[in-house]
């Protein structure tokens, strides 16, 4: 655990960020917002998980915060993999509010991109790069919101805490470490900046990962002529099992914001060589959970159709998160979003899971997701974030914090 001293406190925040403003289109850019500058600097850091390399990104954010007089703490969860915690202290009259996001991203296939995934290219009102949507834009916006509040000189009643994590894509390891380390103690509400297209989400699906292992008979396939059925082939047995579960009705309760659970066989392996009967095949399956559907119920439903040659086990699970639409924090966030952007919708749900899955249920916190990134664009080639949404999110985050912590 390392503390970042405010050695840059006397340095104006604009000058600190100006160092990271590259040229594009052959000219020096003018009137580029601070949130855009910070987003571009973060996009230049490759934080693909694995290996992550989140510490480099965390140090960039810590430097920018220090220039504004906000100190940061690092929590190292593995070499080069670091959570950042920064606290803007209040007077103690209200519970704290957490602004939550993660540094790591998923991988890049350069052949599918038409732009440099790490250049932070700005074009036609968008900023492009791996993590622009998911979710370095959100990190930059939350950072700038905290800096703006600090700049007012006004102390709020409750603490505003930034919780920026490593290893979200590795089963939420960073968020788990935050909870275990007590870094969320005293928090009364959780605001997350996962991609929402600046809509308001109060529900996210959970997930259970199940491993299916098919057993077969070892031997040469040439000597199984004349046999019927699967001929002892573990891959065939696995294929038939996958067919049975692919559209299986899991009897999940209907939810006001979420569609039914999905079953995705995502990774499969098996066999020894082309002419041999495969003695073993393994498939890892992702099932997206809705509230009221437990991992054990999914496992039981799979077992009921598995047959004697398929063994099943749970690898990992993350619970769904569901905050009531009428929760005071939800209503505060909804009113703020409408005031700041003219948003006309209501609370919604989303099929992804986030760090909130291991924070909100454990600490019994209301959760709201509002992010500038585009829903469904996480991991896509030429990932981008709309700049107007990025800049609007700073206003929204600042206003939510000031209203909740006032």
Q: What is the pLDDT of residues 63-78, one digit of tens each?
A: 999 999 999 999 999 9
pLDDT score, position 30: 34
Extract the tokens encoding 290: 């809705």
**Whether 279 contacts 239, CB under 8 Å:** no
Locate 225 and state its tokens: 């002529």
Say which CATH class 206-318 falls into.
alpha beta
Q: Residue 4: what pLDDT? A: 38
Tokens encoding 275: 């002419």
Residue 288's pLDDT is what? 98
Q: How far apart are CA 123 and CA 132, in angstroms?
A: 13
Instruction: Name the β-bridge partners of 286.
Output: 209, 264
Q: What is the DSSP letter of 60?
A: H
368 forms beta bridges with 191
pLDDT for the residue 24 = 28
Other beta carbons within 10 Å of 131: 31
DSSP code per residue over 21-45: ---BTTB---S--HHHHHHHHHHTS
Spatial contact of 18 and 37, defined as CB atoms under 8 Å apart: yes
319, 231 in Cβ contact below 8 A? no
What ranges do the domains of the chain cover? Answer: 2-204+320-405, 206-318
pLDDT attached to residue 7 = 31
In sequence order, which residues have a C-beta less than 8 Å from that of residue 194 and are 6 or more positions away?
Answer: 101, 134, 135, 138, 201, 350, 352, 354, 369, 371, 373
Low-confidence ranges of the chain (pLDDT < 70): 1-32, 226
CA pair distance 228, 232, nearest whole angstrom? 10
CATH tag for 2-204+320-405 (out of 3.20.20.60, 3.50.50.60, 3.40.630.10, 3.30.413.10): 3.40.630.10
Contact in structure between 204 and 349 (CB atoms under 8 Å)? yes
Q: Give the CA-trace dihedral at 160, 166, 170, 171, to 10 degrees.
A: -20
- Write out the two tokens for 361: 């249920």
Q: Three-state SS across 135-148?
A: HHHHHHHHHHHHHH
* Pairwise CA distance, residues 65 & 300, whole Å: 49
What does the pLDDT read at residue 95?
Answer: 97
**pLDDT for res 264:** 98
Name, in order, each residue with C-beta under 8 angstroms of 258's C-beta and a sequence gap of 6 or more.
Answer: 203, 205, 290, 291, 320, 349, 351
């Amino acid at each position: 655990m390392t503390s970042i001293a405010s050695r840059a406190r006397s340095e104006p925040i604009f000058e600190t960020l100006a160092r990271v403003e590259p040229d594009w289109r052959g000219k020096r850019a003018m009137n580029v917002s601070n949130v855009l500058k910070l987003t571009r600097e973060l996009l230049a850091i490759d934080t693909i998980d694995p290996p992550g390399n989140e510490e480099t990104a965390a140090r960039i954010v810590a430097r920018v915060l220090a220039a504004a007089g906000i100190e940061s703490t690092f929590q190292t969860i593995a070499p080069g993999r670091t959570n950042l915690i920064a606290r803007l202290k209040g007077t103690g009259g209200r519970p704290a509010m957490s602004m939550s996001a993660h540094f790591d991203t998923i991988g890049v296939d350069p052949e599918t991109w038409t732009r440099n995934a790490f250049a932070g290219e700005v074009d036609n009102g968008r900023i492009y790069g791996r993590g622009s949507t998911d979710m370095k834009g959100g990190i930059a916006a939350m950072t700038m919101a905290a800096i703006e509040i600090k700049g007012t000189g006004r102390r709020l009643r409750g603490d505003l805490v930034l919780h920026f994590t490593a290893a979200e894509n590795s089963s939420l390891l960073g968020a788990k470490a935050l909870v275990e380390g007590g870094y969320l103690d005293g928090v009364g509400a959780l605001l997350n900046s996962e991609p929402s297209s600046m809509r308001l989400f109060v529900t996210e699906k959970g997930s259970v990962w199940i491993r299916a292992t098919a057993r077969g008979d070892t031997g040469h396939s040439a000597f199984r002529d004349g046999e019927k059925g699967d001929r002892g082939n573990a891959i065939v047995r696995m294929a038939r099992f996958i067919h049975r579960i692919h559209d299986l009705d899991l009897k999940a309760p209907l939810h006001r914001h979420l569609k039914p659970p999905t079953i995705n066989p995502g990774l499969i392996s098996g066999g020894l060589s082309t002419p041999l009967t495969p003695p073993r095949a393994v498939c890892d399956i992702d099932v997206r959970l809705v509230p009221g559907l437990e991992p054990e119920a999914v496992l039981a439903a799979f077992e009921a159709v598995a047959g004697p040659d398929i063994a099943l086990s749970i690898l990992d699970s993350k619970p769904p998160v569901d905050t009531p639409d009428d929760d005071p924090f939800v209503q505060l966030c909804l009113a703020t979003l409408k005031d700041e952007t003219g948003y006309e919708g209501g609370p919604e749900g989303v099929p992804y899971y986030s760090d909130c899955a291991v924070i909100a249920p454990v600490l019994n916190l209301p959760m709201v997701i509002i992010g500038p990134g585009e829903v469904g664009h996480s991991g896509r080639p030429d990932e981008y974030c709309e700049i107007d949404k990025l800049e609007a999110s700073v206003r929204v985050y600042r206003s939510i914090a000031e209203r909740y912590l006032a």
